[in-house]
Amino acid sequence: MTRVAMPLLILMVALAAVVAGRPAVLSAANQNVGYVDFSFGSAPGTDPTADKPQSKLWHNDGLWWAIMFHTGSGTWHIYRLSWPDQWIDTGTVVDTRPTSRADVLWDGTKLYVAALVRFGSASQQGLFSRFSYSPATQAYTLDSGFPATMMTGSAETLAMDKDSTGQFWITYTQGSKVYVNRTTGSDTSWGTAFVVPGPTSATSLNADDISSLVAYTDQDGSSIGVLWSNHNTPSSMYFAHHRDSDADDVWQPIEQIYTATCAADDHINLKSLQSDSSGTLFAAVKTSFGDSGCGNTGSDPLLRLVVRKPNNTWQVTTFGAVSDQHTRPIVLLDTTNRKVYMFATAPTSCGVIYMKSTSMDNPSFPAGKGTPFISSSTYTCINNATSTKQTVSAATGLVVLASDESKKFYLHNAIALGAPPPDTTAPTVTGRAPVAGAADVLASTSVTATFSEAVNGVSAGSFTLTPSGGVAVAATVTYDSASRTATLQPGALLAPNTSYTAALAPAITDSAGNPLAATSWSFTTAPPDLTAPSVTAQSPAPGAADVAVGANPTVTFSEAVAGVSGATFTLSGPAGAVPASVSYNPASRTATLVPGAPLAVSSSYTLNLAAGITDLAGNPLAPLSWSFSTAAPPLVALQNGGFEIDANNDGRPDVWTSNAKFTRSNALGPHGGSYAGRFFASDNSGVTISQNVGNLIPGVAYSFSAWTNIPATADAFTLRYELRWLNAGGGTISTSAIATLSAATAGWVQSTQSLTAPASAASAQVRMIVSSLNATLYVDDVSFGNTPPPADTTAPVLAGRTPASGATGVAAGASVSVTFTEAVAGVSGTTFTLSGPAGLVAATVSYNSANNTATLTPAGALTQGATYTANLAAGIADLAGNPLAPLSWSFTIADTTAPTVTERTPAPGAIGISTATNVVVVFSEALNAGTINASSVTLSGPGGPVAATVSYNPATRMVTLQPAAALAPGAAYVVTLSSAITDLAGNPLAPLSWSFGTSSAPAPPPHTIFLPLAAE
């Protein structure tokens, strides 16, 4: 390793330089290494270079830059490094929140900053900023429309990167879950954050866990990868990735990097080798083996480098042991020298930043703490190393920034990365097949040579195969750079029982031009083959039963064969030939048939090996066929669909994944059993309830059913039933919408759907989602699977009726309707009737199955003021045959007819009426007695209003006006009835008046009749 000379000054000079405003150079001789920068004060806290997954530095325009805290303004600024020792303030403000922490990305065109206040309130959300750069002024300017809000809520840290489509992604942990979010359409528009899909055992975290994120490209294309810690048993480090070409919520199965008791910790720094299309990833991580109670020794690994290889496997290398007391590691990738640099603090509280480096291709770190990289005898609490997301090289050098938590000073170090020494080592052959001296080699063999390093010049001229005493055989020669292997494939079968020599010429060189030494070796082919191949193994076996519908049939041959194809290895079933792909593995001599779709359940299939398959000597395989049958689908059923089970009696249904806003209730009278599920939220945050169901078979139909009861509410809401199909790794395949309800229901309503499991489906998640909710909803008898739902034993009841029982003032033309809690049958003119004063009312009866409502429409208007009785008789039942209990109720028709006068005495225009007469009026209907008085019934004559007493007899509907004295003879009088008189329904009498005249002769004096005295 090239040693980098550090500038050396004694600490006194260093401190003087700090006072003078120039960074101090720390002396390596006294373990003082690097540069002291400036004070960041108290406002940002003690760790402005935190946090672990983040990068505060970047390289652009031949310069190093950093986000650092400016004490004068109390804000975060962009600083430029005057190589190698001094940071210069550019004056550009990045964030005005002193306690925010940022992750920085320079993408070659723009600068992006993702910052949040750790564990902040909702008002201190994550902000995303974009800056433009001017090479002329070496200055950054905030773009219009920024900052944009990218996340809300409390989080410890976040990390950010940009995928190949230009979409930005962030990750953070919140509520013990791993979240990601991304831009949608523009850099200022962010979508809704969601939990990384996968099993809850991997994605349900401890409160102290964090996540990090990186963009990379490998053999599968471009992806975003997320790596996170999980302290929960069994304590693992996990990784998941999303291909840029997939929908945002489609992720590949979660990978478990390593697992063991105390194996995980929340220290992660993740980088990709951006210039390497193999997609290799490097992450510096920490274990918890040094924690109290973990029972491990000082030799156990504390910090590790984990490397994700191009074949999607993980290599784990120890950086430091528990006894080294490292913490907060970061990793940097040197592409010039293909080296990995790791930096970490020791001891774990704070102290010195140490460095180790190793080869990218074969990582291995020396034991011990490493080389001090930033160290000071004055600033003794250095911590939180940070650098760049970018790779480094001889062109950029390497810069690491850190902070002293006690004296609140920035410190950094910068080193040049020299070019590697020239390569003078010639390539060698490290592997060959057939091996030297091999006998009985197949006539169909190819010849391969593997080299110690990448080579050029492999061709048919530099790689030859020659039989003894003959000339080089005609052959095709290829070279695989990934495996560094050259392959010679003869154009025809080799001669039997013949010696062949393979030769590699010095025209083959490495990338530095060092030639391969001439190399040759020989082997002998086998004698002629006269034996026909046979089948040694079949799967499924002949006559096999209960074969999985996802099975891929295989057949193994006694020797290597040719001619295996979709024409010679076929499968037929109930619908004829099965579309399939066929492959052959010469290493295992096994042919595999992969059906294009899962096979049908409970069906018979036949496999056929047809003519055309031969061994490599041309001996034909005898045609062969055999049959097998597939298994019936396993029974699948949702658990606790009636919400009856609550083992710990906490009011929340067992099995369902939910929160406290989903409880058991019998408030409405459940649809079945003794409980229903109850949604409620008072903060409009919404509720999601789910349950996973396994053992699904692709292509099999499954049934969903759920009952919902939503009381009337003024609040807007949406209840959505959906099914999320999951693959074997727990990743989402697709989501099937089932039903959406956004209005109150008339009692219990059922939502049903038949759904066919898609290809690759292994399980499903039944989901009930309520959004924008400030109301109460009820669900019951939720079922999903291929087992019949529980029998319906609940009788229907009325959810509503019109007119209501005891209603008055009902319109004479009204129809009568009833709504049932579920679908019913048997509604007719016999089971739904109406009777009134005249007996049974002629009517038509209809039933609307869409809303479970029966309607009775009378043939004519009903009698005003009359009382009618509606009857639901025996014969109405739900679709399961549960009968409705007979029911009847009454209501009264409204009276809208005004009263009239049917008789009056004296009659209008009458003359010669006795002066002792009373005025008597009879009405067409009963009156409101309270409206009959001396004000509403009056008599006036020559002397004006006549004093009188007014009375009302309800039995005869008769009003009597009795004058207080005899009327004047020969005079005209007027009777007046006002509109204040009303019937019992309040209908007013039309005002009415009439006249009559009294007799002119005085009334004869009264006669006194004397009766004789009784005889004594």
Cα distance between residue 662 and residue 432, in whole Å: 66
Secondary structure of residue 4 in the 3-state scheme: coil
- Classify each residue of 23-32 as buried b or exposed e, where b means 16 or more C-beta atoms within 10 Å of its C-beta: bbbbbbeeeb
* Residue 572 predicted with pLDDT over 90: yes
From 972, 966, 960, select the one nearest 916 (Cα to Cα): 966
What kind of architecture, by CATH, is found in domain 901-998? Sandwich (2.60)
Q: How far apart are CA 659 and CA 687, in angstroms?
A: 8
Q: Which of 32-36, 171-175, 416-420, 782-786 has the lowest mean pLDDT?
A: 416-420
Q: Is 22 exposed, middle or buried (0-12, 13-18, 19+ CB in 10 A)?
A: middle
Check residue 439 and give its pLDDT: 95
pLDDT in tens, 888-924: 999 999 888 899 999 999 999 989 999 999 999 999 9
Q: With a cut of 60, say whether residue 841 has pLDDT above it.
A: yes
The mean pLDDT of 168-184, rounded to a whole number, is 95
Tokens 């669909």 -> residue:
641
The CATH-assigned architecture of domain 535-629 is: Sandwich (2.60)
Cα dihedral 221, 226, 230, 234, rounded to 10, equals 0
Q: Which helix (H) or strand (E) holds 258?
A: strand 255-259
CATH match of 429-524 with 2.60.40.1220: yes
* Residue 440: burial class (beta carbons within 10 Å; 0-12, 13-18, 19+): exposed
Q: CA separation (Å) from 329 to 111, 273, 297, 546?
A: 24, 18, 21, 53
pLDDT of residue 48: 97
CA neighbours closer than 13 Å in the CB half-sphere of residue 89: 17
Torsion, Cα 355 359 362 366, to 10 degrees, reads: -30
Whole-number Å distance between alpha carbons of 911 and 651 = 88
> Which pLDDT band, with edges at 50, 70 and 90, does 358 fall under?
very high
43-102 pLDDT per residue, tens = 999 999 999 999 999 999 999 999 999 999 999 999 999 999 999 999 999 999 999 999
- Say which residues have a Cβ less than 8 Å from residue 334's Cβ, sequence separation at least 6: 340, 341, 357, 391, 392, 393, 398, 417
Q: Is 1014 a residue whose pLDDT tops 80?
A: no
Residue from 862, 863, 846 nearest 854 by CA:
846
Average pLDDT over residues 701-712: 90
Q: What phi and psi values does residue 504 have, to the nearest 5 degrees?
A: -120, 130
Flag whether pLDDT at 28 surpasses 70. Answer: no
- Asked if residue 365 has pLDDT above 80, the reply is yes
823 or 111: which leads in pLDDT: 111
- Contacts of residue 211, defined as CB under 8 A and 6 or more positions apart, other chains included, come to 53, 159, 171, 172, 173, 178, 226, 227, 228, 229, 268
Residue 804 has pLDDT above 70, yes or no: yes
Report the amino acid identity of residue 41.
G
573-616 pLDDT tens trace = 999 999 999 999 999 999 999 999 988 888 999 999 999 999 98
Mean pLDDT score of the chain: 89
- Enumerate the β-bridge partners of residue 585: 590
Buried/exposed 159-169: b ≥16 CB within 10 Å, e otherwise: bbbbbeeebbb
What residue spans define the domains of the chain?
270-413, 429-524, 535-629, 662-785, 798-892, 901-998
pLDDT band at 1010 (very low <50, low <70, confident <90, very high): very low
pLDDT tier at 855, thresholds 50, 70, 90: very high
In CATH, 662-785 is 3.40.470.10: no
Q: What is the model's pLDDT at position 124?
A: 67
**One fold for 662-785 and 901-998:** no
Closest CA to 187 of 142, 220, 232: 142
The residue among 868, 900, 899, 873 whose CA lies nearest residue 884 is 873
Query: Other C-beta atoms within 10 Å of 377: how many?
Result: 12
401-458 pLDDT, tens digit each: 999 999 999 999 999 998 777 888 899 999 999 999 999 998 889 999 999 999 999 9
Lowest mean pLDDT among 146-155, 291-300, 319-328: 291-300
Average pLDDT for residues 259-286, to the nearest whole number?
Answer: 87
Confidence band of 255 (pLDDT split at 50, 70, 90): very high
Q: CA distances (Å), 522 to each of 79, 436, 477, 488, in order?
A: 66, 5, 18, 14
In this prediction, residue 622 carries a pLDDT of: 95
Among positive and negative, which fits the CA dihedral 705, 707, 712, 713?
negative
Is 50 exceeded by the pLDDT of residue 11? Answer: no
> Is it the case that residue 671 has pLDDT exceeding 80?
no
Q: Is residue 388 within 8 Å of residue 58, measured between CB atoms? A: yes
Residue 236 structure tokens: 């693992």
Cβ-in-10-Å burial (0-12, 13-18, 19+) of 42 comes to exposed
CA distance 50 to 37: 17
Span 557-575, average pLDDT: 95
Instruction: Look at residue 682 and tell me whether its pLDDT is greater than 70.
Output: no
- pLDDT of 683 > 60? The answer is no
| pLDDT, tens digit (0-9, with 9 covering 90-100), for 278-288 | 679 999 999 99
Closest CA to 175 of 779, 694, 733, 688: 688
Residues 6+ apart with CB under 8 A from 851: 746, 819
Q: In this predicted model, what pLDDT tens digit does every residue of 776-800 receive, in sequence order?
A: 888 989 999 887 656 778 889 998 8
**Region 134-152: what's the mean pLDDT?**
95
504-518, 599-613, 666-680: lowest mean pLDDT where?
666-680
Q: What is the pLDDT of residue 29?
A: 37
CATH for 798-892, options being 2.60.40.1220, 1.10.1740.10, 2.102.10.10, 3.20.20.80: 2.60.40.1220
Q: What is the mean pLDDT of residues 132-144?
A: 96
**pLDDT tier at 679 (50, 70, 90 boundaries)?**
confident
Report the C-alpha gap between 139 and 904 in whole angstroms.
107
Whether 360 shows a pLDDT value over 60: the answer reads yes
Render 589-618 in DSSP notation, one character per residue.
Answer: TEEEEEESSPPPTT-EEEEEE-TT-EETT-
pLDDT the model gives residue 684? 59
- Residue whose structure tokens are 């180790």: 356
Q: What kind and span of H or E run contains 12?
A: helix 11-20
Residue 788 has a pLDDT of: 63
- Which pLDDT belongs to residue 475? 97
User: In this structure, what token pair is assigned to residue 580?
Assistant: 């399939």
Burial of 172 (0-12, 13-18, 19+ CB in 10 A): buried
Mean pLDDT of 701-723: 88
pLDDT of residue 927: 94
354, 292 in Cβ contact below 8 A?
Answer: no
* CB-CB neighbours of 858 under 10 Å: 18
Q: What mean pLDDT do residues 184-210 have?
A: 93
